[in-house]
Structure 1
Amino acid sequence: MVSTNSLYGRLDDPARDAGYVDPPPRKGFFTDTSVCIGCKACEVACKEWNAVPEDGIDLLGLSYDNTGGLGADSWRAVAFIEQSRPAVDRLQQDTAAAGFDAFAEAARLGTGVPGGHPVAERAYQNSSHGGCGGSGGGCGSASAAAPAAKDTGGQFLGMPGMLAPAPLPDRDGRQDVRWLMMSNVCKHCTHAACLDVCPTGALFRTEFGTVVVQQDVCNGCGYCVSACPYGVIDKREDDGRAWKCTLCYDRLGEDETPACAKACPTESIQFGDLDELRERAERRRQQLHDVGVTEARLYGEDPDDGVGGDGAFFLLLDEPEVYGLPPDPVVTTRDLPSMYKHMAAAAGFMVLGTLAAALGRRA
């Protein structure tokens, strides 16, 4: 049933608002950028499963990222951001040194394993206890990396056991370098402007709360492209239709994990019930704050924000603008009711004016 908050404001169950009588729990993504290693396995898995065509082999000269951004032929895009920063405090360096080999642990731990734990949480437990205990085995490369962290001033990159090199100082005297990596994707907004403006019904809300494009209904008008506050949805040049991430709607129907989350080796991309993911994300944010990574913040998780909260949200290690994300996104159809009221009022005044003019002539 359509509610008063169908276009803007808090909306706890968009699937029910769309007309589903008894929808399943809303599904979504939580992307923890602090453990993203930029392998782009998510991009490859997305293209393979969804038969997304290749988008050209272009050397963009932007760090190691040659995807460039989201588009009709890139439903996942891993951004590489290189930063030179002042040396971090010793607490953060010690946290890195107390980590573990995430590549080895990812084969044994994870939300996909019965009774398993997210890799990031196990890393935190290891560092909190100052050692490499637990069922996951030894620290692997992390123990060998510990001296490097202290001798070279390497910086904690979020990925346990992964340390940046110490290059020559830059013009500002800063020596430490870190890479911020983030796998970007469609946000599957609670208030999806692309869906609101679609004139053919090609975009629809699924029972899982996600937003999907039906290509056989899309007429290529492009209204959705300009309506998206994140610049996600795009038209494919060869056929003019709109394409974007479906959160693997076909896999959800079979109770399967989306391809990108399934392929992620470090569980940077986590899939599940949205409410549980939000709780998990808040725990992870607090964990990072506890070890001195105070710049860690959540993005898109707030159901009271300008889009009603995102179905795909992120933990970031810097300002959203650094990752190419809008700092305060607002659904572009928010003011439609007010606009229609003003249009109706203007039309009414025009009719009244015309009638007054006609009556004045008769008099």
Structure 2
Amino acid sequence: MSTAVPHAPRSEISVRRPEAERMGFFTDTTVCIGCKACEVACKQWNDLPADGSTFRKGGSYDHTGELGAATWRHVRFVEQLEPSPLSVSEAHDLDLVAMASERAPAEVDVAAAVADMSRWIFMSDVCKHCTNAGCMDACPTGALVRTEFETVIVQQDVCNGCGYCVPSCPFGVIDRDHQDGRAAKCTLCYDRLQDGLEPACAKACPTDSIQFGPYDELLDVAERRVATLHDRGRTDAYLYGAGDAPGEEVAGGLGAFFLLTDPPERYGLPAQADSPIQENVVTATAAAVAAGLAAATGVAVAFGAAKRGWTGARPGGLLTLAAAAAGAVEVVRDLREGGRRRDRAHGHAAVPRAQGRADQGETRSEGHPR
């Protein structure tokens, strides 16, 4: 299977080298063991502060909780909980004290405990380095730039801490540092890439759950991995953020994509995502044109009234301008209604796949999805 590699517009690439090619991450969640070696390696290499190692309520071993300005890698812990076989009426009649007193102490069944690990899902989350990067679109100072490897980095000396990039990221990746207010996120170890080195997180991963390399090679590896899992009976395996049909890409195609076996929402990922600015650029442009025509109409009316009086103004020209402005407003309404219809169509189309996986059981996330 061969899939076209998505590329950002050449005009977006701030650093250019003829020999450079798009680099990225492929994360296979089926072999992630939740060891957090990637988190430690990322913090150590980038000199990021620790998260405190505080056991918080419902947090299990997930100290970090979410991606942030000082946490550029986050291993998400998700526990799959099967529905209880007891009905609601039976649950109300349970005598928990009697059950506890009747239970005899027993040794831990190691084999059962290991088998029980299949209820857990681990995923190492990171910046997606989107082809359509919402953070770049929103940045007013040019602090966020695209490198020769088509990754997105923050220039700390240019960032003014406005925070516009934070709500513009559909994945909740980038954040402002609580001390100096400037934005920060994963750089895909740009300093290491410049020296031909592998990013620290991928280097530290003991199971090769995180794989790094040229994007086209990673995509080929990922597609073959999905095919292998399907042959083994894991037909629920699929790629998130890569290999999508044209026009259906997540944020134009992700530079860091994933192999998942459950709906993306269970991993704290959105089913559909794009840069808010690029998503609304057509309607916003049409609205600007309509506003301009309306303003021109008002100016023409005022000018005509002042020069000739209302009785002497030429109604034909004014009516033409008014009709043009009204037409532009209708175009905006049609575009917005078309967008709503497309959103509803996408929503209905996505239900069968997500619903099929959701039937496997309810979930509880140990982190705090952003």
2:51 alignment counterpart: 55
1:77 alignment counterpart: 74
Residue of 145, 166, 169 corresponding to 1:225: 166
2:354 alignment counterpart: none
Distance 1:271 1:341, change over 3 A: same
CA distance in 1, matches of 2:153, 2:163: 15
CA contact (8 A) 2:6 2:253 kept: no
Residue of 192, 195, 200 corresponding to 2:141: 200
Residue of 174, 178, 184 corresponding to 1:243: 184
Residue of 265, 288, 293 corresponding to 2:234: 293
CA drift at 1:352: 2.0
Q: Deviations over 1:300-336 (max 9, x none)?
A: 1136314110000000121100011001112212222
CA distance in 2, matches of 1:11, 1:212: 21
1:346 alignment counterpart: 291
Is 1:34 aligned with 2:30? yes
Distance 1:39 1:11, change over 3 A: closer
CA drift at 1:262: 0.2
2:269 alignment counterpart: 325
1:315 alignment counterpart: 259
Q: Deviations over 1:86-111 (max 9, x none)?
A: 9xxxxxxxxxxxxxxxxxxxxxxxxx
Give the residue type in structure 1 aligned to 2:184: W
Residue of 300, 304, 323 corresponding to 1:359: 304
CA distance in 2, matches of 1:56, 1:341: 49
CA distance in 2, matches of 1:248, 1:260: 9
1:140 alignment counterpart: none
CA distance in 1, matches of 2:39, 2:234: 28
Give 3-state SS (helix, strand or coil) of 1:66's partner. Answer: coil
CA drift at 1:15: 6.6
Is 1:16 aligned with 2:10? yes
Q: Deviations over 1:256-291 (max 9, x none)?
A: 000000000000000001111011111111111111
CA drift at 1:357: 2.4
CA distance in 1, matches of 2:5, 2:286: 23
Is 1:212 aligned with 2:161? no
CA drift at 1:296: 1.2
Aligned length, in residue pairs:
273
Percent identical pairs in the alignment equals 55
Give 3-state SS (helix, strand or coil) of 1:80's partner. Answer: strand
Alignment RMSD, CA only?
A: 2.2
Report 1:77-226 matches (<5 A): 77-85=74-82, 163-165=114-116, 177-226=118-167
Unmatched 5+ stretches in structure 2? 84-109, 310-370
CA distance in 1, matches of 2:19, 2:146: 11
CA distance in 2, matches of 1:308, 1:15: 11
TM-score (norm: length of structure 2): 0.69
CA distance in 1, matches of 2:140, 2:26: 31
CA distance in 2, matches of 1:284, 1:11: 18
CA drift at 1:341: 3.5
Bigger drift between 334-343 and 277-286 goes to 334-343
CA drift at 1:77: 0.2
Give the residue type in structure 1 aligned to 2:266: V
Is 1:282 aligned with 2:223? yes
CA contact (8 A) 1:191 1:331 kept: yes
Segments of 4+ in structure 1 off by > 3 A?
none
CA contact (8 A) 2:170 2:274 kept: yes
More helix by share: 2
CA contact (8 A) 2:29 2:121 kept: yes
CA distance in 2, matches of 1:249, 1:66: 26
CA distance in 1, matches of 2:39, 2:5: 31
CA contact (8 A) 1:194 1:203 kept: yes
CA drift at 1:52: 1.1
CA distance in 1, matches of 2:22, 2:193: 11
Unmatched 5+ stretches in structure 1? 1-9, 87-147, 155-162, 166-175
CA drift at 1:164: 2.5
